[in-house]
Structure 1
Amino acid sequence: MAEQATEEDILLAKRIISAAERHDVPALKVLLKEGSANVQDPTASVATSPLHAAIIACGKAEEGKEAAVDAVQTVELLLQNGAIWNDLNKEDETPGCIALRLGQKKIYDMMVEAGVRAEILFAKMAALGLGGDADDEEEEEDEISEEQPAAKKQKVSEEDAKAIQEAVEEQVLDDVSLDNRAYLKSQLRYKPGILLDESDNAVMMDWETQIMQRHAETLIPKSGLRTMNVGHGMGIVDTAILTHDPAEHHIIEAHPQVHARLREQGWYDKPNVTIHEGRWQDILPKLVEQGVVLDAIYYDTFAEDYAALKEFFAEYVIQLLAKDGKFGWYNGLGADRQICYDVYTKVAEIDLYEAGFDTAWENIDVPSGLHGSKQWEGTRRPYWTIDVYRLPVNTFVK
């Protein structure tokens, strides 16, 4: 359990936030030797972090005018001292959201770069098995997630740990999109223009049709190619792929209800089409063993995180794709918040390059009025709230 803040703690928090708001770098340097860059004033009517306060104080950017030097230095100092790039205030805004809203481009770019650094760092730590030790009372670690602001890991009792695990399990059952195996056991509902899971999450919607068609065009420049799509859903991209007359087209799909729909619509009988029933994690190793080579691969699964996408291209695309082939994937990472979308797009580009791929991006405007429209009625939450889709086309580094 977190200790109650003392009067001294509250006073120090107020002083740190005040110095950040004034962009008083010398004072902030002194104060951060005693306190955290992530403090909040529990007595304030609207809780805010020093980073939020510093960016709000910049005000609306004037045309062509960048933030003042002291403001930039304040943000830099806070980030250097561990300020959390995707922390949320009471208005559900990250510091980057505020910078974007105020038109403070330089500050916004700093927040994107901070997010990229943090995500890459934590991914590398996880890969190395480095993390918080539950038995070490002295060690605490900031942990970034794709959907929530970072939180402090704290040592908890066995009883508390059990309660936390039960809460997580309840959450997974309540929202099957949080767990791939729970999703695959759930009931899907096909409705006009939308596919919903058991928890009312939109798995796919017909507004994506233009995007899917463009993916097919960028990946398959001529007929007679060997293609694959992972994740059939409503069949939008597979339908688009077949218009390019592939010599062979593989579809990997794991959900039993989608298999039934594939049968109903005659996909199993289409010429040059092979349906693989199961998770790609189980199917692809077999295709690698068989020596399958493909000219175009597309990936668009549901209820899987970025780590799954990274495993897909770093472990399997590199083995299955022809040397002059192309790889594409549905770029919906963090698409419910612009700062998150920009961060994860850059992270993906870096990871793809490390795996041996060059990435070319094409911007596509999503349908106007999509955010806040009636299109999301009946769904748990909008999975897309931004204006531009960044379409990736990946080829092997020459």
Structure 2
Amino acid sequence: MAEQTSEEEILLAKRIISAAERHDLSALKVLLKEGSANVQDPTATTATSPLHAAILSCGKSEDGKEADKNAVKTVELLLENGAIWNDLNKGDETPGCIALRLGQKKIYDIMVEAGVRAELLFAKMAALGLDDAEEEEEEEKEESREEQPAVKKQKVSEEEVKPIQGAVEETILDDVSLDNKAYLRSQLRYKPGILLDESDNAVMMDWETQIMQRHAETLIPKAGLRAMNVGHGMGIVDTAIQTHDPAEHHIVEAHPQVLQRLRDQGWYEKPNVFIHEGRWQDVLPKFVEKGVVLDAIYYDTFAEDYKALKEFFSEYVVQLLDQNGKFGWYNGLGADRQICYDVYTKVAEMDLFEAGFDTEWEDITVPAGLHGSEQWEGTRRPYWTIDVYRLPVNTFVK
């Protein structure tokens, strides 16, 4: 049970928030020696953190007018003292969401860079095995961090699932998208224009057709190439790949119902099409052993996190892709919130570069009606709420 906040702590929180709101750097530096950059005033209704307050008080940027020097330094000071980049207030806004709404581009860019640094740090700590030492502290932070991003297509990280796993085991079973193996055991429902899992998450929707077709065009610019797609779903991208007359078309799929649909639709009998049943983690090592070489690789899985995508390109694409080949993936990371999308797009680009890839981005405007509530009727939650899809095309660094 959480300890009750004392009057002294409440007063200190209010003073820190007030100093941040006024962009009073001198006072804030003193106060942060006593208190946290992540305090919230428990007597307020907005759950505004110092970072929220500092950005909100900048007001709207009109006629190109940006936040002043003190505002920028206040935001930077709070971040240097551990302010959380994706902390949510009760208005369901992160500090970056406020900066974007107000048109404060300089502040927004600072928040994006802070998010990138934080995510790279978390990944590095996990790689070094240091995350366990910080687990208790991080669990406290997670309580005030952003809610889980919509699951389509990749969860951002397994860290998002930890509070749920530690709380009620049934919650995981209630949402099979949180675990790939649970998803593969679950029952899917194909409906007109949509594929749902048994937890009502949208696995794929037909509004993605334009995006999938463009992925196929960018990856397979001519006939006779060797292509592989991981994750069949509704078959949108595989249908698009077929229009480019590949010499080889490999499809890796693990869900029994999707595999049955592939049989029912005659994919097993299509010329030059090879269906590989199982998770890519089990299938691709066999590709490597056989010395398979591909000209185009596309990745579009469900109920897997960003860590899986990173493993896919850094461990397998680097071994299977021809030196002049192209790699693409469905860029749905954090697409339920603009700042999250911007942060994880940058993180992915940096990790791809480290693995030996150059990335080119093509912006595609998504259908205007996608933000309407009717579009998502019957689904657990919208997985896409932003205006532009950033399509990645990756080639080896020359």
Is the alpha carbon distance of 1:269 and 1:342 closer, same or farther for their aligned partners in structure 2, counting shifts above 3 Å? Answer: same
2:146 match:
149
Which TM-score applies when normalising by structure 1? 0.93
Cα-to-partner distance string for 1:91-119 (whole Å, 9 max, x where unaligned) = 11000001001111110000000000000
Q: Does 1:215 find its partner at 2:215?
A: yes
Deviation at 1:142, TM superposition (A): 7.0
Deviation at 1:273, TM superposition (A): 0.3
Amino acid at match of 2:297: I
1:188 match:
188
Amino acid at match of 1:295: D
Output the CA distance in 2 between the equivalents of 1:105 and 1:306.
Answer: 27
Deviation at 1:375, TM superposition (A): 1.4
2:172 match:
172
1:159 match:
none
Output the CA distance in 2 between the equivalents of 1:277 and 1:381.
Answer: 29
Matches within 5 A, 1:359-374: 359-374=359-374
Output the CA distance in 2 between the equivalents of 1:320 and 1:335.
Answer: 29
Are the aligned partners of 2:164 and 2:172 in contact in 1 as well (CA < 8 Å)?
no
The count of residues paired between Structure 1 and Structure 2 equals 384
Are the aligned partners of 1:363 and 1:391 in contact in 2 as well (CA < 8 Å)?
yes
Deviation at 1:164, TM superposition (A): 6.9
Q: Does 1:24 find its partner at 2:21?
A: no
Output the CA distance in 2 between the equivalents of 1:90 and 1:352.
Answer: 35
Is the alpha carbon distance of 1:56 and 1:318 closer, same or farther for their aligned partners in structure 2, counting shifts above 3 Å? Answer: same
Query: Is 309-318 or 166-175 further displaced after alignment?
Result: 166-175
Is the alpha carbon distance of 1:274 and 1:144 closer, same or farther for their aligned partners in structure 2, counting shifts above 3 Å? Answer: farther
1:53 match:
53
1:90 match:
90
Amino acid at match of 1:345: T
2:304 alignment partner, SS class: coil
Is the alpha carbon distance of 1:143 and 1:131 closer, same or farther for their aligned partners in structure 2, counting shifts above 3 Å? Answer: farther
1:157 match:
none
2:64 match:
64
Matches within 5 A, 1:1-398: 1-133=1-133, 140-141=137-138, 148-149=145-146, 165=165, 167-398=167-398
Deviation at 1:143, TM superposition (A): 8.1
Output the CA distance in 2 between the equivalents of 1:169 and 1:93.
Answer: 28
1:140 alignment partner, SS class: helix
Deviation at 1:150, TM superposition (A): 8.8
Are the aligned partners of 1:142 and 1:150 in contact in 2 as well (CA < 8 Å)?
no
Cα-to-partner distance string for 1:10-32 (whole Å, 9 max, x where unaligned) = 11100000000001011100100
Output the CA distance in 1 between the equivalents of 2:183 and 2:18.
Answer: 47
Is the alpha carbon distance of 1:53 and 1:93 closer, same or farther for their aligned partners in structure 2, counting shifts above 3 Å? Answer: same
Are the aligned partners of 2:215 and 2:328 in contact in 1 as well (CA < 8 Å)?
yes
Deviation at 1:132, TM superposition (A): 3.9
Output the CA distance in 2 between the equivalents of 1:148 and 1:22.
Answer: 24
Deviation at 1:2, TM superposition (A): 2.9
Deviation at 1:149, TM superposition (A): 2.8
Pairwise CA RMSD: 1.9
Deviation at 1:218, TM superposition (A): 0.3
Deviation at 1:45, TM superposition (A): 2.4
Output the CA distance in 2 between the equivalents of 1:143 and 1:326.
Answer: 42
Deviation at 1:172, TM superposition (A): 1.1
Deviation at 1:354, TM superposition (A): 0.3
Gaps of 5+ in 2: 149-162
1:370 alignment partner, SS class: helix
Amino acid at match of 1:310: K
Is the alpha carbon distance of 1:300 and 1:143 closer, same or farther for their aligned partners in structure 2, counting shifts above 3 Å? Answer: farther
Q: Which has the higher contact order (CA 8 A, sep 6+)?
A: 2
Deviation at 1:47, TM superposition (A): 1.5
Cα-to-partner distance string for 1:327-353 (whole Å, 9 max, x where unaligned) = 000000000000000000000000000
Deviation at 1:148, TM superposition (A): 5.0
Identity %: 84
Are the aligned partners of 1:227 and 1:246 in contact in 2 as well (CA < 8 Å)?
yes
Deviation at 1:170, TM superposition (A): 1.2
1:156 match:
none
Output the CA distance in 2 between the equivalents of 1:169 and 1:261.
Answer: 32
Is the alpha carbon distance of 1:164 and 1:203 closer, same or farther for their aligned partners in structure 2, counting shifts above 3 Å? Answer: closer
Output the CA distance in 1 between the equivalents of 2:258 and 2:15.
Answer: 57
Output the CA distance in 2 between the equivalents of 1:140 and 1:232.
Answer: 40
Cα-to-partner distance string for 1:152-178 (whole Å, 9 max, x where unaligned) = xxxxxxxxxxx9756342111001111
